[in-house]
Amino acid sequence: MIEKKKDLSFFNKKEIPKAKGLRFSIVVSEWNQEITEKLYEGAYNTLREFDVLDSDIKRYEVPGSYELIFGAKISSREDVDAIICLGSIIKGDTKHFDFICSAVSLGIKDLNIALEVPVIFGVLTDDNLQQAIDRSGGKHGNKGVEAAITAIKMATLNKHNQIK
């Protein structure tokens, strides 16, 4: 269970490798844009903090979280070391939430199997808007920051373990 006041995006900067020279794409859903823009800012600023050049970060926008999968596939055509998918799905009164959450998570999983670069799941799946606010720069941190840290770690792991 999430602690009520805990920032879950805390990490030890000394444990994160520098990412200079790595290239990233960030695919951002336009749906729930007030949330996804904060996730993007967290991811982008974190990549820059770890020495990723602005020119090595490319943003792709897609209409909704479902489209993150195809957006990530398109972005993989670029010479990138990791792809970060950022979205926000907020539960409503129908089963649509369940179908979209399942499809997006499975689609991103499938891309991780099919592609040669890691695809990071930075999609919030919240019961209400307040939870999304709390997880996109609010009292529980910013999942965009966490997605960027994961992307750096996975890109570094991939670079150091490629078969030559």
Domain that holds residue 153: 27-159
Give the amino acid at 50: F
pTM recorded for the entire structure: 0.91
> Which residue intervals of the chain are DSSP H helices?
33-49, 68-75, 96-114, 129-134, 143-160
How deeply is 50 buried, as exposed, middle or buried, from its count of CB atoms within 10 A (0-12, 13-18, 19+)?
middle
Matching residue, tokens 């670029």: 78
**Tokens at 144, concatenated:** 């965009």
Matching residue, tokens 């907020």: 90
The model's confidence at residue 1, banded by pLDDT at 50, 70 and 90, is: very low
**Number of folded domains that form the chain:** 1
Does 12 fall in a domain? no
Q: For all residues of the chain together, what is the average pLDDT?
A: 91
- Give 124's strand partners: 88
**Tokens at 124, concatenated:** 């919030």
φ/ψ (deg, to 5) at 51: 75, 20
Give dist(CA 136, CA 9) in Å, integer: 10
Does 3 fall in a domain? no
Tell which residue, 70, 87, 82, has the closest CA to residue 120: 82
Does 85 fall in a domain? yes
Does 155 fall in a domain? yes
Q: What is the mean pLDDT of residues 131-155?
A: 94
Q: Residue 88 sits in a domain of what CATH number?
A: 3.40.50.960
Provide, rounded to the nearest whole percent, the portion of the chain with pLDDT above 70.
Answer: 92
Does 9 fall in a domain? no
Per-residue model confidence as pLDDT tens digits over 107-136: 999 999 999 999 999 999 999 999 999 999
Q: What residues are annotated to the active site?
A: 96
Provide, rounded to the nearest whole percent, the portion of the chain with pLDDT above 90.
Answer: 79
Does 18 fall in a domain? no
Does 50 fall in a domain? yes
